[in-house]
Amino acid sequence: MAEIRIPFNRPGQTGLEQTYMADALQRGHLSGDGYYTKKCNALLENELGAGKVMLTTSCTHALEMAALLLDIQPGDEVIVPSFTFVSSINAFVLRGAKPVFADIRPDTLNLDEKQLESLVTERTRAIVPVHYAGVGCEMAVITEVARKYNLAIIEDNAQGLFARYEGQNLGTFGQMSAVSFHETKNFVCGEGGAIFLNDPQYFERAEIIREKGTNRGRFFRGQVDKYTWVDVGSSYLPSEILAAFLYAQLEARETITAKRKAIFEFYRENLAEWSRETGVKTPTIPANCEQPYHMFYLIFGSLSERTAFINYMRSRGIQTSFHYLPLHLSDMGRQWGYQEGDCPVTEKLSDCMVRLPFYNDMTRGELEEVAETVRAFSGGLVGIQ
Ligand SMILES: *Cc1c(COP(=O)(O)O)cnc(C)c1O
């Protein structure tokens, strides 16, 4: 097996992370909600026009907070695409919810909004649109259905920070949304996330849930003279050391996005002709979406073609990566009676798609090598030794 020379992902640094982390150490406040956490929260609130932003220990934890804030009860139903990361729905299942899996659109791989209404029942509480690759779901339709049936929208915006749909920032459509700063995302701090609260009715309780069910936030602001246990909650605050790392990344958002844009455009231009000749598809970005350049994927005609492609790339030292296995066919998903054929587009595309190497500091040489190697693969015939 050839040594991997071009990995699928390599978390990027801007150069200021260590400076800010050293400053955080100097400030002597290492737990959560200090100087850098506040700076990150404020930057995101100002930049995005979200009501309130709170850093969390992960996107998964932001989603868990959302489920607690909605007071999801056993038997409640939550609609989610089958083609997503497990946390999009596990956060709600932890509270006893039943997942209702929607199929995806073949163009954007986002929840198929046309099927949404048929999945709503009397028990439905929430819809979790996942902006795949940070390309916005059809929020006009999703918002309309949510309004008609009085459902909450919790956007899983793990991949779409700073992206827009119809000119509006992703993450600001739902009552709440969650982003991720995991090392595989555009802006990273190793492990981390944030919850966006777009409805003021959740502000106070979110602060309590995030602080172990206590009113410690009010205590620190001098609004109560001691703090105590007032609600359920957990520990969802990241350390200041991580917030300092993240602040360097968020400050550099324009540079990071420009680098990623150049990578996406390079792949698109250099694979366009090959894509036309072979019929292998590249990403579709609808005109009403401004994307964050999170990933570049290919969609082959079959699982065997894709497998051949991954092995072929690997034999040339290039790591590619498929993505989500359909959740409705997982061991957990099947417990609710789901089976093959329930989400046919998800089942097909999950087998056929693969993501190319994509990281901020990819060199021109690496990009050229990947594109050349891809072009030398024709439909599974070349390159299989
Ligand atoms: C990465 C990701 C998550 C999980 O993020 P963590 O910060 O690792 O918890 C959830 N949903 C989607 C769609 C993701 O891409």
In the chain, what are the domain boundaries? 17-251, 253-375
Residue nearest to ligand 1 atom 2, measured at CA: 158
Choose one of 182, 236, 321 to mutate for the ligand 1 pocket test, by most ligand atoms within 8 angstroms of C-beta. 182
Q: Which atom of ligand 1 is nearest to the CA of 159?
A: 15
Spelled out in words, what is the top-level CATH class assigned to the domain 17-251? alpha beta
pLDDT at residue 261, rounded to an integer: 98
Q: At what angle do helices 17-27 and 35-48 cross, to 10 degrees?
A: 130
Evaluate: CB of 324 within 6 angstroms of ligand 1: no
In order of 57, 207, 243, 332, the CA distances from 170 in angstroms are 20, 22, 22, 29
Q: Which atom of ligand 1 is nearest to the CA of 58?
A: 7
Position 326, amino acid: P
Q: Which atom of ligand 1 is nearest to the CA of 130?
A: 13
Which ranges of the chain have pLDDT less than 50? Answer: 381-385
Extract the tokens encoding 183: 């090392």
Extract the tokens encoding 288: 């009403």
Extract the tokens encoding 367: 């990009």
Sequence-ordered list of residues with C-beta below 8 angstroms from that of 298, at least 6 positions apart, any chain: 271, 275, 280, 281, 282, 309, 353, 354, 356, 374
pLDDT at residue 385, rounded to an integer: 35
pLDDT at residue 383, rounded to an integer: 38
Kindly indicate whether the domain formed by 253-375 is annotated with CATH number 3.90.1150.10.
Answer: yes
Bridge partners (DSSP) of residue 190 are 182
Evaluate: CB of 130 within 6 angstroms of ligand 1: yes
- Per-residue DSSP letter, 301: S
pLDDT, one tens digit per residue, over 216-252 is 988 888 999 989 999 999 999 999 999 999 999 999 9
Phi, psi of 6 (to 5 degrees): -120, 105
pLDDT at residue 379, rounded to an integer: 54
Sequence-ordered list of residues with C-beta below 8 angstroms from that of 351, at least 6 positions apart, any chain: 302, 303, 306
pLDDT, one tens digit per residue, over 84-117 is 999 999 999 999 999 999 999 999 999 999 999 9
